[in-house]
Chains A and B, each alone.
Chain A
Amino acid sequence: MKSIRFWLTLLLCSVLWVSVSSCFNSSPAYISTNKTRNIHLIVKMNKGDYWNTVKLGAEAAAKEFNVKLTFKAPDSESDIDEQVTMVEDSIKEKADVIILAASSYMGLAQVVDQAAYSKIPVISVDAEVGSARVQTYVGSNGYEAGQKSAERLIQLLNGYGEIGIVNFTNASVNTGNTSSGSTGSIDFGARDADEREKGFLNYAARYTNVKVVQISYTSSSTADAEALTREMVANHPNLRGIATLNEIASQGAAKVIQNSGLDNIKMVAFDSSPSMMELLQEGTVQATVIQNPFSNGYLAVKYAVEALEGVAVPERVDTGTKLIDLENMLWPENQKLLFPFVR
């Protein structure tokens, strides 16, 4: 009887061993896609080709890594409160990761800390946010982009003349809302807008003959941008160049130039919507600084998944900027960047 018990124990052990060992050889080398992750992507605005391309990239990654992507965006880039609410909602909905393109560097800092407190990793995309708890930043270097823009515009102007800038979501627009706050107005601007502007101005400052005569801030509509440009052109009849620092501003300004036949004004735009490409090809706009919205969206989701997997993600991912003009826009490698492959 004793021997029979012994053998039963041995048997049990061997069965255990077999089942355990069979579990070992099934760990995949690639990122596991067995589990569906909930990732919330909150960007600045729900319109515009730029954000659409970011979304496309995010969706490509979501498909690849089995992610349930929730896309959120306020109607306007200046609607900081709405974006804060969206992040709060995502925290409540217990998102696995929040990917955020912050409309305001400081305005969303607190809510990001709150997300981190709730153990939800936050990845910032395109625009940084003033929180140390952000896992990684995926986007371009705004300062460098601003410098590229300035370099080309000044070159187009042969190094002299008046320049106007159309930028976006500066706190000065919002001062009405946050007037009581003791924090400086600059703190509430979007980080990318600030960086681009800073880059542009710092570069332009090297040229004594170049004068930045006006910087206008559009909230987030083409019409607004148009109005601001018209105002700018009217105020400065000697204006020789315009730099626009995001897609909406670029489209508004380009429309004014095209419609008013202001051929003497050179323009360096920002971002690469198809309509911008058309303007470039038609000669209304001389150059545009492009980012990698598709890569931003894709990589943000990819790193979000990797962060969830426990893979160490880089602190900062620079997806780069490029200056596109008529000459190089049809180069195959640039075609691939400029025109999303839509089937």
Chain B
Amino acid sequence: MNKPKDFFFPQRPQPRKRSKIRVSSKLRSIQLIIMLTFTAVTVAVAVIVSIMLYGKFARTAEENANLNMQQIIEQVNYNLELYVKGMSSIFETAEQQITTSESIDSPLLYERMDTLMSSREDLVSMAMFTPQGQYVVGTPGQRMRLNTQLESQSWFTTAKRTSEISYSAPHIQNLFKGKYTWVVSISKMIQYMEHGELKTGILLLDFNFRTIDELSKQVKLGKRGYAYILDPLGNIVYHPQQQLIYAGLKYENVEPVLEYAFRSYLDESTGEKRFITVRTLAQTGWKIVGVAYYDEIVTTKRDLNQFLAWFLAVVLVCVIAVSVLLSWLIASPIRKLERTVKQVGEGDLNTPINVSGAYEVEQLSKRFNMMLQRIRQLMDQIIYEQETKRKGELEVLQSQINPHFLYNTLNSVIRLAERGKTDEVVTMIQSLSKFFRISLSKGKNFITMQEELDHIRHYLVIQSFRFKNKFRYEINAQEEVLQYQTIKLILQPIVENALYHGIEMLPDEGLISISAVLQEGLVVIRISDNGLGMSKETMNVLLSGGVKSEGGSGVGVRNVNERIGLYYGREYGLTFESELEEGTTVTIIFPARLTEEAPEAKKEETDL
């Protein structure tokens, strides 16, 4: 198997080099590439999608929160507006009653004012004063305190200044005995009749924060968010932590609020990000300010953040798991295929390749297998064809022996005939005729040793005529050996060689002795001459076919060797022993076989 391997894979990788490649190629393995690419791409996509989703969701969450907050504040604004309107209408009713009353001290007016007062729980007091600050009428009818300083209070001074309804900042109601209450006052200068006289008075309506508180409590802006109310001057009308503000423990950044009537913005004055939404009440100019903590709104954002983190983690886990599995599924048959192919590459053409797996791999394996089969077939065929070709060539050569020899021999016969040596001519022609009969042997390649020895004998007889008894010859064969098969005409080229190169130039008489024996199942034929002998180089050249005997059969010694090798195997063939001036011995060794051809040959002989 050595030859085909070298023939087909002349550049087979060296084992050492291969191991080096294996180390670095680990990183280039299909599994790793698939896994890394798959993971990288999927994770990248997941991350990009997450980031985009996050951005989008976060923005939407922010916008929604903002919108939501605006709606809530709008709602509060609306409710508060309704409430203030309600208060103004109560005030207007009271005003109407006072102005339409014939006299300010009529019991009917008291009664009506009482009814009005009791209509709402958050009304604290209602009273009318003269522009000088004298109490005229009021309900509930409590005693006034001393030192009220009402002339300097804002509701009084504002009412005196304008003819519109005015709303005060929150203040303490200190007019009547009993309680100090935080109130917002509505006041206006009105006309009333007293004892038939038209007079000017200032009507005051105080209400507490009960409803405003309730309205503001409805505001849910996250956990910590709240709403507060500012008056147009920046005084805090209502704040869920009013007492803290009043005690100076908390502050609201009211300056940016006061600038606009309607806005939403992000405030960071307290160090925390807060969404501020401002709406303004039409009648009072009060501003409702919604405060929402950014990071609470952004809870959605944080939730999203966390969700995405988990999502990514899960994706990563899944992707890696899937990619490991997938790449393994894809790569393992390929690896197996690769291993098998490597084995094939190392020369084991009989390795079966049956890798199952992906369709492509399976097909590849199948195709490869088929290819391998084909290679094997082709190799066999090539070997067969080569041998056939060589045999053919040899047969052609073999067939060339005869005409050349015939020509020489006939020349000799003619010379003998001219000299009138009839007996010798007869002997020669006889030998020649037998020689050719054996040469022909019905075209068979194999003949018996008997025939082969006869053949050479005839040849020697003929040659001894040509060489004028320049040599003697002897043929000794064991009886057993004669029946064995031999390739036809293997002795002639050797003897020819011995004659032309060994003996022809010899001054003395030459001797060619041929012996054939059976040795351990082998036929051993020795052809010895006492000729000139050969140098080692010549012997080597002989077998490689460099020398062609001049005037010889044309069939070289090498061809004998090749033929034996072809038919019996390379281990059989010729060996030379030669010494200059001493002679040469050629030994032919091939297995002793009694094939079917032997009886055939015998039969032929009997035919003769």
Contacts and interface: CB of A to CB of B under 8 A. Distances in A.
B608 interface: no
B161 to A, nearest CB: 19
Contacts of A338: 172
Interface stretch (A21-29, A105-113, A235-243): A21-29
Interface size class of B (residues with CB under 8 A): 35 or more
B23 interface: no
A64 B241 CA distance: 9
Contacts of B179: 274
Nearest to A297: B247
B386 to A, nearest CB: 49
Contacts of B265: none
Interface in B15-73: 31-32, 35
Interface in B119-156: 145-149, 153
Interface string B262-292: 0000000001100000000000000000000
A212 interface: no
A335 interface: yes
Contacts of B199: none
A234 interface: no
Contact of A330 (B153, B249, B305): B153
Contacts of B148: 281
Interface stretch (B308-316, B523-531, B539-547): B308-316
B57 to A, nearest CB: 16
Contacts of A29: 271-272
B209 A18 contact: no
A121 B98 CA distance: 63
B438 to A, nearest CB: 74
Contacts of A282: 145-147
B210 to A, nearest CB: 7
Interface in A248-301: 274, 277-278, 281-283, 292, 294-295, 298-299
Contact of A278 (B145, B244, B309): B145
Contacts of B246: 336-337, 341
A127 interface: no
A300 to B, nearest CB: 12
B248 interface: yes
A47 B171 CA distance: 27
Given A14-B316, A15-B316, A60 B309 contact: no
A22 B213 CA distance: 40
Interface in A298-341: 298-299, 326, 330, 332, 335-341
B306 A298 contact: no
Interface string B223-257: 00000000000010000011111111100000000
Contacts of B177: 278
A132 interface: no
B454 to A, nearest CB: 76
Contacts of A3: 31-32
A22 B316 contact: no
B302 interface: yes
A281 B324 contact: no
Contacts of B375: none
Contacts of B146: 281-283
Interface in B307-336: 309-310, 312-313, 316-317, 320, 324, 328
Contact of A7 (B153, B171, B324): B324
B243 A340 contact: yes
B169 interface: yes
A339 B147 contact: no
B247 A292 contact: yes
A298 B244 contact: yes
A3 B320 CA distance: 12
Contacts of A95: none
A295 B302 CA distance: 35
Contacts of B247: 57, 292, 294-295, 298, 336-337
Nearest to B311: A18
B145 A15 contact: no
A216 to B, nearest CB: 29
A343 interface: yes
Sort chain A's interface into a size bin. 35 or more
Contacts of B92: none
Contacts of B441: none
Interface string B188-229: 000000000000000000001110010000000000000000
A299 B249 CA distance: 8
A330 B309 contact: no
Contacts of A25: 302, 305
Contacts of B248: 295
Nearest to A28: B295
Contacts of A343: 208-210, 213
Contacts of A342: 182
A88 to B, nearest CB: 32
A9 to B, nearest CB: 11
B324 A341 contact: no
A26 B302 contact: yes
Contacts of B171: 330, 332, 335
Nearest to B43: A14
B147 A21 contact: no
B180 interface: yes
Q: Which of A3, A10, A282, A343 has the most CB of B within 10 A?
A: A343
B272 A60 contact: no
Given A11-B317, A299-B249, A281 B210 contact: no
A223 to B, nearest CB: 23
A236 B31 CA distance: 108
A335 B172 contact: yes
Contacts of A335: 171-172
A129 to B, nearest CB: 24
Contact of B306 (A7, A22, A64, A341): A22
A57 B328 CA distance: 70
Contacts of B305: 22, 25
A60 B169 contact: no
A19 B316 CA distance: 13
B174 interface: yes
A11 B316 contact: yes
Interface string B158-194: 0000000000010110100101101000000000000
Interface string A57-76: 10010001000000000000
Contacts of A115: none
A341 B228 CA distance: 15
Given A26-B302, A281-B145, A282-B147, A19 B153 contact: no
Which of B32, B246, B317 is packed against the most chain A CB atoms within 10 Å? B246
B443 to A, nearest CB: 68
A57 B317 CA distance: 53
A283 B35 CA distance: 92
Interface of B: 31-32, 35, 145-149, 153, 169, 171-172, 174, 177, 179-180, 182, 208-210, 213, 235, 241-249, 271-272, 295, 302, 305-306, 309-310, 312-313, 316-317, 320, 324, 328
Interface of A: 3-4, 7, 10-11, 14-15, 18-19, 21-22, 25-26, 28-30, 56-57, 60, 64, 274, 277-278, 281-283, 292, 294-295, 298-299, 326, 330, 332, 335-343
6 contacts: A11-B317, A282-B145, A283-B146, A283-B147, A330-B174, A332-B169
10 smallest beta-carbon distances between A and B, as pairs? A336-B246, A22-B309, A341-B243, A18-B313, A341-B242, A295-B247, A335-B172, A343-B213, A15-B313, A294-B247
Given A281-B148, A338-B172, 11 more contacts: A14-B313, A19-B310, A56-B243, A274-B180, A278-B177, A281-B146, A283-B147, A292-B247, A330-B149, A332-B171, A336-B247
